[in-house]
Amino acid sequence: MPFEAGELCCSSAACVLLDTNTGSGTTWDKIPHVTQISVNQTANTPKLVTSSTGGKETSACGTVTQTGNLAVACHRGVGPGYLTVNNVYRIRWAEDCTYIWNAETCTAFSDGDAANYLDAYIRITTVPIDFNISGNAATIYNYSFDIVGWVVSPETYQQAPQTDVDAGFLC
């Protein structure tokens, strides 16, 4: 049987919010022109050789590293430049923006059904400095981050580190 391409499952309705309140509580702003967000879980599994393995290596339990990437497009010659390396931010994202953002009022919905969005504290580890002036398309800024703590994740647990934010966005 030959390969058949399936239905394209990309979502153009996704969005990412950033908590811009430096005090208590949350004040969500929508990050404009997000093109992609991903989270990766990587197991650190050291290899051991024991008498029971017959001289062969076996994986031992290890910690799990959680990293991610946030890609933001530059439009009209203005780069994002709002996330700073080593700072901690709280972000919330959903495959369908209507779960977390009211487009009519440019406000975030209060905490809703956690099955529909993810929410985490992240530490920016890589800040792009891109001077691609030869292309005629929007430049994509790729910010790498580590997950500091999940607020809403598939496992849903609470952890609240201090955040550093000095940004504001327009709807």
pLDDT digits (tens, 9 = 90+) for 26-47: 788 888 878 888 888 777 777 7
**In residues, how long is the chain?**
171
Range of the domain at 95: 15-152
- The answer to whether position 120 is within a domain reads yes
Structure tokens at 101: 């953002």
- The answer to whether position 48 is within a domain reads yes
Which residues have C-beta within 8 Å of that of residue 64, sequence separation ≥ 6?
A: 41, 42, 43, 44
Structure tokens at 102: 């009211």
Which residues have C-beta within 8 Å of that of residue 121, sequence separation ≥ 6?
A: 88, 89, 90, 147, 148, 149, 150, 151, 159, 160, 161, 163
pTM of the model as a whole: 0.72
- The answer to whether position 170 is within a domain reads no
- The answer to whether position 59 is within a domain reads yes
- pLDDT band for position 165 (cuts 50, 70, 90): very low
- The answer to whether position 25 is within a domain reads yes
Cα pseudo-dihedral 92, 98, 99, 103, rounded to 10: 60
Alpha carbons 146 and 120: distance in angstroms, whole number? 10
pLDDT per residue over 96-112, tens digit each? 888 888 888 888 887 66
- The answer to whether position 37 is within a domain reads yes
- With 90 as the cut, is the pLDDT of residue 123 above it? yes
Contact 20, 28 (CB under 8 A): yes
- The answer to whether position 126 is within a domain reads yes
- pLDDT band for position 147 (cuts 50, 70, 90): very high
- The answer to whether position 142 is within a domain reads yes
Amino acid at 77: G
**Number of compact structural domains in the chain:** 1
